[in-house]
Amino acid sequence: MFNRILTLSESTCDLVVFAAHPDDAELCCGGTLALSAAQGRRVAVVDLTRGELGSLGDADTRAREAAAAAEVLGLHRRLNLGLPDGAVRDTDANRARVVAVLRELRPQVVIAPPFEDHHPDHMGTADLVRQSFYLSSIRKFQPELPPWKPRTLLHHWGSRTFSPQLVVDVSSVFEKRMQAVRCYESQFGARQESEFALRISSQNFLASIEATLKYFGSLIGVAYGEPYRSELPLPAGDLVGLFGVEPWKDR
């Protein structure tokens, strides 16, 4: 599903999430991915690194876990750019690679990490995708590839204080998104008891993810929500429909 050669019509996607490491997309916007896939949208994740510097597991294990999570979420595509873990930066070479992916997948919506976070790779991915998002529509940048301009770029929440402009109701797919997270047994299944134990391996970590989603869901009156920010105004062609209201029939 994820490695075969696709035609142009098969390779295009509606929604693409760029993530620094395998499991980042599942942790921060897995519900949005699962919900969009259930709604018939083609969704994809582009992992920039293989996560080889991670204190837990190894790159091959994380690749297998990523494939399993992709099946759970219903992804149409999952790509890995193989950039060096710990060194994701906004460079000319990296821009060219991300632009090539954008022009191949031709998404309407792009999601990237937040600009403020604890991990330099997360912030590096945010900067890199931000610049590549613009360059993707410039015809004379990599002129051998047809340009593409996605409709919007959103940034998901991370480890810093986050005030969203948009919250997606993921209540109906909450269990599926957490099932995808739990596919990463090497990251979230291990239990460490030493003074150097990682936060992600603590018994409270996944509970804290659930609590965070409950909080953002409460902001819009639902059980679970995933929050996003945008540097640009968010377009709306149907203001009433934006709030989930069906057209007037027999109401």
33-66 burial string, b = 16+ CB within 10 Å, else e?
Answer: bbbbbeeebbbbbbbbbbbeebebbebebbbebb
pLDDT band at 202 (very low <50, low <70, confident <90, very high): low
Give the pLDDT confidence of 62-93 residue by residue, as tens digits: 999 999 999 999 999 999 999 999 999 999 99
Q: Are 167 and 219 in contact (CB under 8 A)?
A: yes
Among candidates 110, 113, 128, which has minimal Cα distance to 33? 110
Backbone angles phi, psi at 231, to 5 degrees: -75, -20
Q: What are phi and psi of 116, to 5 degrees?
A: -110, 120
**Among candidates 156, 136, 165, 188, which has minimal Cα distance to 18?**
156
Percent of the chain at pLDDT > 90 equals 75
DSSP state of 65: H
In the chain, what are the domains? Answer: 8-231 (3.40.50.10320)
Q: CA-to-CA distance for 139 and 190, rounded, in angstroms?
A: 48
Q: Dump strand ranges (E) for the chain.
A: 15-19, 43-49, 77-83, 109-112, 152-156, 166-169, 225-229
CB 154 within 8 A of CB 166: yes
Q: Is the pLDDT of residue 195 over 70?
A: no
Could you read off the pLDDT of 41-68 as tens digits, one per residue?
A: 999 999 999 999 887 879 999 999 999 9
pTM given for the model? 0.90
Reduced DSSP (H G I as helix, E B as strand, rest coil) percent helix, strand, coil of the chain, to 5:
40, 15, 45
